[in-house]
Amino acid sequence: MTHTHDASGTPSLPEATPPVSSFTMLVTLGGAGAIVGLAIVLVYIWTLPSIERYKGGILRGAVAEVLREPARTDTLFLVNGTLVDHRPAGDADRPIERVFAGYDTAGTPVGYAVAATEVGFSDPIEMLFGYEPRTHALLGLKILVSKETPGIADKIEKPPFLEQFKRLVAPLTGTKTATPAHPGDVVMISGATISSRAVIRGITKAIDRWQPLLDAYAAQHARN
């Protein structure tokens, strides 16, 4: 806003600044929002390969851990109710369920890495476990994602709890006894039985679902 003077030197009224129209404000804000949105998309696109590599590295490490460092692992895809060792052509972008088969140096199957998800105290717990379907033996467990209560329920991610799953035999049962009486007894965490039971429930559901699929694949693999 500026002041002007008339010929006599007396200040006149200030000149009014024209108001900014609503349309102009909308265009300005919309343009800024579009630029920010585009920047976010570009950053996501640029970083996506790194993110996928990172996730892939974590998954490969988890598979190796729960299968006790097999000499080789193959990815098996669930297609039309059957496990196959190749992904169908033309659906590379479609999410597809899978398990991972582990083999020793002689090519003998050692087990399968199976994913499971179950709601814990409040949020889903994502896990991966090693399983040998012929003997129903668990080979290991890895918690992939968990937001359980820090200091208490997050003990499901710690070795004292996880080590149990290297020697259990399904079906699994939760127990509060320090000394398990049965091969499937899981000693639950004191003060975190909800989280402990969620892990047991998730593995049990996954075994019930995948057992016939794994048996069928193993039988077909043996015939070939």
Separation CA 96–CA 11 (nearest Å): 78
pLDDT digit string, tens, across residues 161-219: 999 999 999 999 999 998 889 999 999 999 999 999 999 999 999 999 999 999 999 99
Mean pLDDT score across all residues of the chain: 83
Which one-letter amino acid corresponds to residue 208?
D
- Once rounded to an integer, what is the mean pLDDT over residues 88-114? 89
Instruction: Determine what percent of the chain falls in helix, strand and coil, rounding each to the nearest 5.
Output: 40, 25, 35
Q: Give the span between the Cα atoms of 110 and 100, in whole angstroms.
A: 11
CA atoms 45, 50, 53, 59: torsion sign: negative
Give per-residue pLDDT as tens, 49-71.
444 444 667 889 999 999 999 99
207: Cβ contacts below 8 Å, ≥ 6 apart: 114, 131, 136, 170, 171
Q: Is the peptide bond before 88 cis (omega within 30 degrees of 0)?
A: no
pLDDT in tens, 89-99: 766 667 889 99
pLDDT of amino acid 54 = 45
Residue 83 has what pLDDT?
96
pTM, two decimal places: 0.75
d(CA 126, CA 186): 18
Task: State the pLDDT confidence band at 122, using cuts at 50, 70 and 90.
Answer: confident
